[in-house]
Amino acid sequence: MVTRAERLLLSGWVAAARRHGLRQTPQVVAWVRRKAGGDITVVRQLHDGTLGCSVPCVLCARELRRFDMRVHCSLGGGEWFSGKLDQDDAPVPRPTTGQVRALFRPQRANQQRQRKVVSRKPADDQAATQPWHRWWSV
């Protein structure tokens, strides 16, 4: 799974807290908030230089809620959100493609075992109903 920038930044601060001898989670959270501050700004730039939607992903939002951080992010279209992610008007976190694959899709182990062998070329009566029939008829 891809590590996003917000989690990477927070994990760096957590590693620094552990090097300073803090082991318990409440101590680590308080230390990170004291050293890093209570705000984080997330900016994502598109290939043409404009600002893209920088709403944190599902796992990053969970970590930012855990550290009780204020988030400043672009919603796209020139709109910005500033506040904590547990507020009512907070944007809905968007899962990455890897998170959708790993967290939100059902397991398909049984379906792979019961796979049927299907002919690649459709029958003449199916050719008119299938959207991909024109590529096979060439």
Q: Residue 90 and residue 7: Cα distance in Å, rounded? A: 19
Q: Residue 86 and residue 69: Cα distance in Å, rounded? A: 10
Residue 19 has a pLDDT of 93
Q: Residue 102 and residue 130: Cα distance in Å, rounded? A: 31
Q: Give yes or no for a contact between 59 and 77, defined as CB atoms under 8 angstroms apart.
A: no
For 35, the domain range is: 5-105
Q: Flag whether 135 is in a domain.
A: no
- Written as tens digits, the pLDDT of the chain (138 aa) is 345 788 888 899 999 999 999 988 889 999 999 998 889 988 888 899 888 888 998 888 998 999 999 999 998 888 999 999 999 999 988 888 888 888 777 666 555 555 555 555 555 555 555 554 444 444
Q: Give yes or no for a contact between 46 and 52, defined as CB atoms under 8 angstroms apart.
A: yes
Q: Which pLDDT tens digit goes with each residue over 1-39?
A: 345 788 888 899 999 999 999 988 889 999 999 998 889
Q: Flag whether 124 is in a domain.
A: no
Q: Flag whether 136 is in a domain.
A: no
Number of separate domains in the chain: 1
Predicted TM-score (pTM) of the model is: 0.67
Residue 115 has a pLDDT of 55
Q: Flag whether 10 is in a domain.
A: yes
Q: Flag whether 113 is in a domain.
A: no
DSSP assignments along 13-57, one per residue = HHHHHHHTT--SHHHHHHHHHHHH-SEEEE--B-TTS-B------
